[in-house]
A and B are shown apart, each in its own frame.
Chain A
């Protein structure tokens, strides 16, 4: 039996749709359900519903064989897992945002949920900045002067606009990824490869 950790929240609906179209249907009420483990005996898989930031840990330690999680979380966590597939959903832009006309090359303090992305980005600009590591409502930081700007995921940009902030630069885009535990990738190769193939055909079709 394969155990697959799914990230709750932002990408869960798209994950459920992708799984369904790959031949692994999950219950419709996934997002509302309070259950943490769902079993599908007919396909011999089991799903763990975890907080996105915890998915890499479940997979790295082998509590789950596979995981579906955003590249944003994956990169921040630096988990020792196989990154097998870009699932091409849950696509978001990762941007530097702040008051209009802020000079990105001159900021000193940056608030973010993504300290690693942020540090890497500003290092490439030749800037060593102070990162303020926040867990949510990052937009608040520049509003009250805690930071000069923020680095955050943007889907529609509405939250930014409502708070008078604007995207200043783009670090890149992130999307959902299929990751595998190192042991499972080797010892359950047949099952893992079959699952990867089912999702690859699906994501390949969606990509064009």
Chain B
């Protein structure tokens, strides 16, 4: 018989111990950095009406929603991402707040992954959204903030690729709509073989020079040189405009002193319909999969009744965790044990230790664990090896794992004793 109750649903996982400490630490550091840049935390429900997400997501992504029904029978879905709920909040709860709004979050998101067996269903996203600022300075702020936040987590080797949906759309503008969709899907799938094959089969759809430009476009990556290449194939005003924005963005990023960790990727096409301008994808050297993504989505807020340009980026916390060196795991937990009659002392010392910033667990030990009538034998040691430990025996004797911790505990006992808080 299969025992499902003891297993987790596919695509989910548990965190505990050192790994959990590190994960929480990453989340704390990211949020702290976001707030230092003036971003305010928001929280939204774990699930929303499915229509809410349909406003933000590509129609094809519909099947990736994890849906259920509420008590009225309406279809609700676990949030697949945070940008849409945050946009909804910015247009409703925060409707009267002056723009620009700087919002941040760290929240779990869920997706059905379209039937793929592997891959996480549950993803922690830590992200920022800058709403109400349409200029490249806003995109630069988001990217610089992301670079700073990732560095705060301890990550050193990473880069951001920057694309521009406006550029891609401008180059596609000459083509029939159905062809644009097919090409866009090929770019989203990162399938350049299919992309080339589509172009090769559609020689009547655009002038030869334009088709050649479309062919080279997704392969161009680089710094300022890539902008030059982009300009050479920017046949329409909108494409030149995108190049201007890239140029302004790179200039701003160099003033933010992060230009060395970004490059352009002309073919970068993220699979959310709502991106309209600069797109961002981040990669860590230590991990095969992207760790961050985002971009400009100037039309999304209007879907919820508020006209506002916006840009943002999210970090995939679990991937950052995987990319980080596993050394340096959190703060060890100290332990304080009491035997017969020493519980009040131990609890008081525990309170004081915590006030001083120690992480300390207080626990009793029993006769069965090798303790004699007077308290503990001096050969007793706890079985758990992490952190320092001390044991308070009856009569005020104290044995401890190290001298330093013994001195701290004894000092607390002495001071509390003088203040009359302690009866030894």
Q: A: which residues have CB within 8 A of B?
A: 59-63, 78, 80-86, 177, 181-187, 189, 193
Contact = CB atoms under 8 A, between A and B. Distances in A.
B265 A183 contact: no
B362 to A, nearest CB: 44
B335 to A, nearest CB: 39
B6 interface: no
Interface string B157-174: 001010000000000000
Contact of B284 (A59, A177, A183, A185): A183
Given A182-B283, A183-B284, A186-B265, A62 B289 contact: yes
A106 B283 CA distance: 49
Contact of B159 (A80, A84, A186, A193): A186
A81 B287 CA distance: 13
Given A61-B289, A78-B116, A183 B193 contact: no
Interface string B183-209: 000000111111011000000000000
Contacts of A187: 159, 283, 285
A59 B191 CA distance: 14
A84 B283 CA distance: 19
11 contacts: A62-B288, A80-B190, A83-B190, A84-B193, A182-B289, A183-B287, A183-B290, A186-B161, A186-B221, A187-B285, A189-B222
Contacts, number: 59
B289 A60 contact: yes
B32 interface: no
Contacts of A62: 287-289
A78 B263 CA distance: 27
Contacts of B161: 186
- Which residue, B189, B192, B196, B288, has most C-beta atoms of chain A within 10 A? B288
Contacts of A80: 190, 289
Nearest to B196: A86
A55 B289 CA distance: 16
Contacts of B193: 83-86, 177
